[in-house]
């Protein structure tokens, strides 16, 4: 069974929702970025999302934009990201999803990217700005290399497009709880549960929910209706604050353990038992 499917099957068997972490590859530098990923896995992250640094991250808020700038300055790139995955893969249990804008993938060539990503141990790919309607050939190329294609769904995504994403996607669907750019918030968006229920009405695929989740109570709230919560900007912000500290890795690990401390069983698991 592919690693992502296996991870969600294990979560369902354990009766809990998962925690997915997002970090930018190469932030604050390539060596510590790799250490951070192994620390996230050690702390219990159920899936690792690794962002490819890109010069024009239009969907990202200032926290991830600055992380991308730091990563690019430190030599981060798509190639460097895949090399990092290859180095850490033997030491990491969690599935790994590459999170990228389409431009770096197209520049490398999708076939070449799929070959390198598969060889490095990547499990899934989310091309942030690739329209579902134009994703068929991309998906087939990735599938031929054993890679899952993951799609973003937002509150404005129509039911027809949700069905198309479920038809083309593998692994899980990623629901973003609000419109606008990424960034930590004080509370989970009010429409988040409604979005998950709308997706759930169209497909049995696992659903992860992200954008704005930063505290254990947010993770616990999302766990009541989704299969996993995604924490990105809050974690990237912690990395930025502690990047000069010798305790950086220790603090990242402690933050993930804290996030997991209040996560109850997933309602989805109970509803579909």
Q: Would residue 46 show up in a list of annotated catalytic residues for this protein?
A: no
- Each residue of 40-93: pLDDT tens digit? 999 999 999 999 999 987 777 788 999 999 999 999 999 999 999 999 999 999
DSSP state for residue 90 in the 8-state scheme: G
Please report, rounded to a whole number, the percentage of residues in the chain having pLDDT higher than 70: 90
Q: Are 248 and 228 in contact (CB under 8 A)?
A: no
Catalytic residue among 41, 49, 123, 227: 49
- Each residue of 200-213: pLDDT tens digit? 999 999 999 988 78
- Residue 236's pLDDT is 96
- CA-to-CA distance for 226 and 207, rounded, in angstroms? 6
Residues 6+ apart with CB under 8 A from 115: 145
Catalytic residue among 27, 41, 60, 193: 60
DSSP state for residue 201 in the 8-state scheme: T
The DSSP bridge pattern shows strands 18-24 and 47-51 to be parallel
Whether the predicted pLDDT of 184 surpasses 50: no
Entry pTM? 0.92
Closest CA relative to residue 223, chosen from 244, 239, 209: 209
Mean pLDDT is lowest, of 167-171, 222-226, 255-259, 265-269, for 265-269
pLDDT band at 190 (very low <50, low <70, confident <90, very high): low
- Residue 182's pLDDT is 47
- Residue 189's pLDDT is 53
Name the average pLDDT for the chain: 90
Q: Which residue in this structure is represented by tokens 């704005």?
A: 212
Whether the predicted pLDDT of 39 surpasses 90: yes
Q: Would residue 60 show up in a list of annotated catalytic residues for this protein?
A: yes
- Which structure tokens are listed for 140? 């087939």
Q: Are 45 and 19 in contact (CB under 8 A)?
A: yes
- CA-to-CA distance for 74 and 71, rounded, in angstroms? 5
- Residue 266's pLDDT is 43
- Which structure tokens are listed for 224? 């009541």
**SS3 category, 270:** helix
Domains identified in the chain and CATH numbers:
3-271 (3.20.20.70)
- Residue 178's pLDDT is 55
């Amino acid at each position: 069974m592919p690693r992502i499917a296996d991870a969600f099957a294990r979560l369902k068997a354990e009766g809990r929702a998962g925690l997915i972490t997002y970090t930018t590859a190469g932030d604050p530098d390539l060596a510590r970025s790799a250490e951070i990923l192994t620390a996230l896995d050690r702390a219990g992250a159920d899936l690792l999302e690794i962002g490819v640094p890109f010069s024009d991250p239009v969907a990202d808020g200032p926290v991830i934009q600055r992380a991308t700038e730091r990563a690019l300055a430190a030599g981060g790139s798509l190639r460097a990201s895949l090399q990092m995955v290859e180095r850490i893969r033997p030491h990491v249990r969690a599935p790994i999803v590459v999170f990228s804008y389409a431009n770096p993938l197209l520049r490398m060539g999708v076939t070449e990217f799929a070959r390198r990503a598969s060889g490095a141990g990547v499990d899934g790919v989310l091309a942030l700005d690739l329209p579902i309607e134009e994703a068929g050939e991309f998906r087939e190329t990735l599938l031929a290399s054993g890679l899952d294609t993951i799609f973003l769904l937002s509150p404005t995504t129509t039911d027809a497009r949700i069905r198309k994403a479920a038809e083309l996607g593998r692994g899980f669907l990623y629901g973003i709880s609000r419109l606008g750019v990424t960034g930590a918030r004080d509370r989970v968006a009010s429409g988040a549960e409604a979005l998950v229920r709308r997706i759930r009405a169209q497909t049995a695929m696992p659903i992860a929910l992200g954008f704005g989740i930063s505290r254990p109570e947010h993770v616990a709230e999302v766990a009541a209706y989704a299969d996993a919560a995604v924490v990105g900007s809050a974690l990237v912000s912690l990395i930025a604050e502690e990047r000069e500290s010798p305790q950086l890795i220790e603090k990242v690990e402690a933050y993930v353990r804290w996030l997991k401390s209040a996560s109850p069983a997933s309602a989805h698991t109970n509803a579909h038992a």
